[in-house]
Chains A and B, each alone.
Chain A
Amino acid sequence: MEQEVLRLPAEQLYQKEIDALIAAEKDAVPEGWRMSPRSVKTYICGGKVGGVEITPKYIGHERLVEIAIATLVTDRALLLIGEPGTAKSWLSEHLTAAINGDSTRVIQGTAGTTEEQIRYSWNYAMLIANGPSQEAMLKSPIFYAMEKGSIARVEEISRCASEVQDALISILSEKRISVPELGMEVPAKKGFSIIATANTRDKGVNEMSAALKRRFNIVVLPSPADLKAEMEIVRTRVEQLSGGLDLHAQLPGQEVVEKVCTIFRELRSGETLDRSQKVKTPAGVLSTAEAISLLCNSMALAGSFGNGSITEEDLAAGLQGAVVKDEGKDGLVWKEYLENVMKKRGSSWSGLYKACKELNE
């Protein structure tokens, strides 16, 4: 069965690591948790436990991970905010995987999310046939999490309409859901909490109310702090991904990763890494996540149509697609970058420059 699933949930993918951490547990474990806060941090930030190497899942900004975990220890809800592609969902998935061994209690926030999806809804056939009953009730992931004393996730909370967000307020402050149809109240068990994520680029789509914000501890996830950290993230993730995807290509070399990260960072920040030159920024975000998918994409190209190792042409095609989202404006930005920055970088960059230039002629 494993072979057929495109992407396994984190707790299955890293089963071994989680088991090792639980086996080696020395500190106090909070109620409803499977391991101590310190072990959760080791799981996220990497380390070594009982002979098992724990791969780092979130690199850089360890302190933010600590704050996130500490928030959940105090049974507060956690809100992760950041630019697209700053590993918000990734972090939230791994936190729940480590704390509950279950990262699948997710509500995907969309413009079409309804209040029922936050609370509960009904199997209408049964409702009409037998009237309201426990059996006819369809519980939301949050409902389940409250019953079990675990953590539920709400993705892209700022995409939900405000009435849906409001439904969360009472759940977070009362820590219970009432079901008037059945005349009952379901209190949350110890260990219940919510991790929500929101996108800073979505600001103003459905601005979160002050009342809701107040119920969350907010952690802002920044872009990777420096080139080294970003390269590390990209390298690790590409390694992990390519294992699952059967790409039949060699992993990108250090200098390929460095080139991609350099280009992304420079276009993102609007200046060259040595701060000597200003460059224009394209409309897209150029997140670390995009750099990762770009490299996987290049590996797929190389594996399917090439000799299995990434060539400058594969990379150029990927870069073109990632940078130029809007043909007119971004095209100019990219061409300018090629001419003003990349061309002058010397021989190690000249192959990539030529390949990129060809695509733009």
Chain B
Amino acid sequence: MKQPYIYGIRHLSPAGAWHLRRFLDEKKPKLVLVEGPSDLNDQMENLTRRETKPPIAILAYTKETPIRTLLYPFAEYSPEYQAFLWCKEHKVSCRFMDLPSEVFLSFPEDVEGGNDEGEEGRRNVYAFLSQKAGEDGQETFWERTMEQASDTDSYHEGANVFGRELRNLTEGQDRDWPETLVREAYMRRQIADAIAEGFAPEEIVAVTGAYHVEGLSDGTLQPMTDEELAHLPKVEANHTLMPYSYYRLSARSGYGAGNKAPAYYELLWEGFRQGEMMHAPYSYLSKIAGYQRAQGNPVSSAEVIEAVRLAGALAALRGGTIPALRDLRDAAVTCLGRGSFSDISLAVADTEIGTTIGALPEGVSRTSIQEDFYRQLKRLKLEKYRTLTAQDLTLDLRENRRVSSQEAAFLDLHRSFFLHQLRVLQISFVKQQQVKQDNATWSEQWVVCWTPEAEMQLVESALKGDTVEQAASFQMKEQVERAADIGQIALVIEDAFTCGMASTVKYAVSALQAMAVDAVSIEGLGQTVHRLSTVISYGNIRQLDAAPLEPILKQMFYRACLLLPGACVCDDAASKEIVTAVEQLNAASLAHDFLDGQAWISALKETARRDDLNTKLSGFAMAILLERGLADSAELKLEVQRRLSKGIPADLGAGWFEGLAMKNRYALIARLSLWEDLDSYLEELDEEEFKRALVFLRRAFADFTSGEKDEIAENLGEIWGLNGQQVSEAVNQTLSGEEQKMVESLEDFDFDL
């Protein structure tokens, strides 16, 4: 009986693709079987549509978390891809014949890395081969021996020998050997089924990795039985097509899943199609030269010619006539890079890898979230940003009054919503830049860059919802449920607001309400109030009604007022955060009339007045009262005298002063009476107390600018009856040795006294 033709190839091999087409032309099969998950047959049609531009990949993924994925990338020069095209052109049926992706995805994961690539497991075989191949591994070996094969028979025969030898070397020792056996039994079954269907064996061509040729053509091996088939493990899986990129092909190099130099391999493919084996070498070196010139590094044609000659000589040393990639790169380094690779490394990356990305026709069996993503890109006129090169995007959220339609007027706002939703989903397509100008809330800076990773993240988000907005909403709801404190919920509210998702805001607010009842930390409250307050203040630029936020803000603000005096019993380390919170709360009370201002003021007054609190915070409360005009000079004078009187420990007094000096310094400096009080306080102290006070006051003045310090010095000078000139001289004099010593002696000050 005749046997079906088994054609062994290497994935992503231009020569394989070329010779496979010759082979198909010659044998004129009625059915072509291709190694690839057999449940993906429905993608075949889309793979070969005219609008489809490789590189593309089939991505299969589990329906349940944790998501596992299986990726089958195809470039234009993939033999499999050319087989699909050939079948379409000749109206011949074409099928995948490997195990279904559901079975693949249920195999236990590799220990190292994920088993997310169909042929990843072959790695160890190929590592072994690389070792044996010498020079620089199996890639170059393969290129020199196989890619340059000029006739179809020798390629076919060579690939078979290659696969057979490889198999003999590793049979049974390979970690994936059991998996290999199962796969081959399944593939044999597929072939047998096809014959049973009525195809004559000689009308069938099976395209498979050279490694499997032996396993498929050995007549003594039996196809998988029904019973065995039923025993295969399975997980539920979906699959989709996705655009791929040369960059990713090169990054995931290794057998099957990619190759290191996709753009170069494309040149090889072009060479085959033009029947010109030197096409790739010439193009490669000219492209590097072109890139160098574009970057402003002069490269002469004479140098390119020298590089071609050198590459030829290098190939000849290995007994070849056509330079391999390695020869070309070395020649480029020597002749175009003047001996150093770093000079041309960018040009090499551009020429070997390139920035090509694939494309799929609209509506091609993507997941619904991908559909939505691309629909949104189109609606928001963002399609031109779908490139591998990162681009800046500046948004102006205000209404554009020069356009007629509502949609166009708020285009940037809607873009912002969309980009924020992607940000929440952690899809690496977008990245927000910090804007320097603090309050320019109508302006946003983004960096947009498409990568296959972004596409995969998108596909993985498919579990969260059918559209980008739904997925973002799901994500935020999850965050709310997981939130451990009110600050995290406030963050979600802010996110939901920037995403323009009112219903999520509502959901998060009610969650916040539930949690805020138990909130006791003034820092957390301050932060939350601040976030909500910002959202309310600037919310109208996003065309969202902030009203639902007001009650919760009110409630939390009032709560903070009640908590404030109690929270001020703390040490200096903790006081820093409370200062921030007080400042945030104060800003909120000024920004919104609906907040209970009176409660806030009485909380501040209490904090300022009480003696049993952290004095720095009391001082700070006083400073706010002064700033808001709620305390006058007389009150300040009284307070200064009370706080800075003999008998009060110096650190407390100075701490209070530090707090007071944290705000409205100019006003303080201008009040002469304040400095008189400080002066008379210091006069009263004895030597030891003075030293102590000095240490703390020094700290209080540490973050004053030198200009401010000068003015204080002048104030004091005035009190002591000196004129400005003299003070300035005294202050700016360098310290004498003795003075220096005195200052230094303070460093050893014992705080525990």
- A interface, CB within 8 angstroms of B: 37-38, 41, 63, 66-67, 69-71, 73-74, 76, 79, 81, 213-214, 217-220
Contact = CB atoms under 8 A, between A and B. Distances in A.
Interface in B296-322: 300, 302-303, 306, 309-310, 312-314, 316-317
A70 B306 contact: no
Contact of B310 (A38, A213, A214, A217): A217
A70 B339 contact: no
B444 interface: no
Given A41-B317, A214-B302, A214-B303, 19 more contacts: A37-B316, A38-B317, A63-B330, A66-B314, A67-B310, A67-B330, A69-B313, A70-B313, A71-B310, A73-B313, A74-B313, A76-B309, A76-B310, A79-B339, A81-B339, A213-B338, A214-B300, A218-B338, A219-B339
Given A81-B339, A217-B310, A73 B334 contact: no
A220 B334 CA distance: 9
B335 interface: yes
Tell me whether chain B's interface is mostly helix, strand or loop, or mixed.
Answer: helix
- The 4 lowest CB-CB distance pairs between A and B, nearest first, are A218-B339, A70-B313, A220-B339, A74-B309
B150 interface: no
B340 interface: yes
19 contacts: A66-B314, A66-B317, A67-B314, A67-B330, A67-B334, A70-B310, A70-B313, A70-B316, A70-B317, A73-B313, A74-B309, A76-B310, A79-B339, A81-B339, A214-B300, A214-B302, A217-B335, A218-B338, A219-B334
The winner among A67, A69, A81, A214 for most chain B CB atoms within 10 A is A67
A217 B317 contact: no
Nearest to A173: B302
Contacts of A220: 339-340
Contacts of B306: 74, 76, 217
Nearest to B298: A210
Contacts of B334: 67, 71, 217-219
Interface in B82-117: none
A96 B316 CA distance: 20
B300 A37 contact: no
Contacts of B312: 74
Nearest to A75: B309
Nearest to B337: A218
Size bracket of the B interface:
10 to 19
A82 to B, nearest CB: 10
A47 B338 CA distance: 30
Contacts, number: 50
B393 to A, nearest CB: 42
B330 to A, nearest CB: 5
A69 B310 contact: no
Contact of A70 (B303, B314, B340): B314
Contacts of A67: 310, 314, 330-331, 334
A324 B156 CA distance: 64
A52 B340 CA distance: 36
A63 B302 CA distance: 24
B341 to A, nearest CB: 9
Nearest to B312: A74
A149 B302 CA distance: 23
Contacts of B339: 79, 81, 218-220
Given A218-B334, A220-B340, A37 B317 contact: yes
A38 B314 CA distance: 10
Contacts of B310: 67, 70-71, 74, 76, 217
A41 B314 CA distance: 12
Contact of B316 (A71, A73, A214, A219): A73
B289 to A, nearest CB: 13
A37 B313 contact: yes
Contacts of B316: 37, 70, 73
A71 B302 CA distance: 15
A79 B338 CA distance: 10
A91 B592 CA distance: 82
Nearest to A28: B316
A146 B339 CA distance: 26
A71 B316 CA distance: 12
A74 B312 CA distance: 9
Nearest to B136: A63
Contacts of B331: 67
A218 B316 CA distance: 20
A70 B314 CA distance: 5
A41 B316 CA distance: 13
A81 B338 CA distance: 10
A217 B309 CA distance: 11
Contacts of A76: 306, 309-310
B297 to A, nearest CB: 11
A66 to B, nearest CB: 5
A70 B310 CA distance: 6
Contacts of B338: 213, 218
A37 B313 CA distance: 9
Contacts of B314: 66-67, 70
A70 B334 CA distance: 11
Contacts of B303: 214
Nearest to B318: A66
A217 B330 CA distance: 11
Interface string B104-134: 0000000000000000000000000000000
Nearest to A73: B313
Contacts of B335: 217
Nearest to B303: A214
A79 B339 CA distance: 9
Contacts of B317: 37-38, 41, 66, 69-70
A213 B302 CA distance: 13
Nearest to A218: B339
B258 to A, nearest CB: 24
Nearest to A78: B334
A67 B309 CA distance: 11
Contacts of A37: 313, 316-317
Nearest to B307: A217
A79 B306 CA distance: 14
The winner among B302, B316, B334 for most chain A CB atoms within 10 A is B334
A67 B317 CA distance: 9
Contacts of A217: 306, 310, 334-335
The winner among A38, A63, A70, A220 for most chain B CB atoms within 10 A is A70
Nearest to A76: B306
A37 B309 CA distance: 15
B256 to A, nearest CB: 27
The winner among B303, B330, B331, B339 for most chain A CB atoms within 10 A is B339
Nearest to B326: A63
A37 B319 CA distance: 11
A218 B667 CA distance: 71
Contacts of B302: 214
A220 B333 CA distance: 10
Contacts of A219: 334, 339
Contacts of A38: 317
A63 B340 CA distance: 14
Nearest to B308: A74
A219 B339 CA distance: 5
A70 to B, nearest CB: 4
Contacts of A79: 339
Contacts of B309: 74, 76
Contacts of B340: 220
Interface in B336-353: 338-340
The winner among A63, A79, A213 for most chain B CB atoms within 10 A is A63
A212 to B, nearest CB: 11
A200 B730 CA distance: 58
Nearest to B135: A63
Interface in B585-642: none
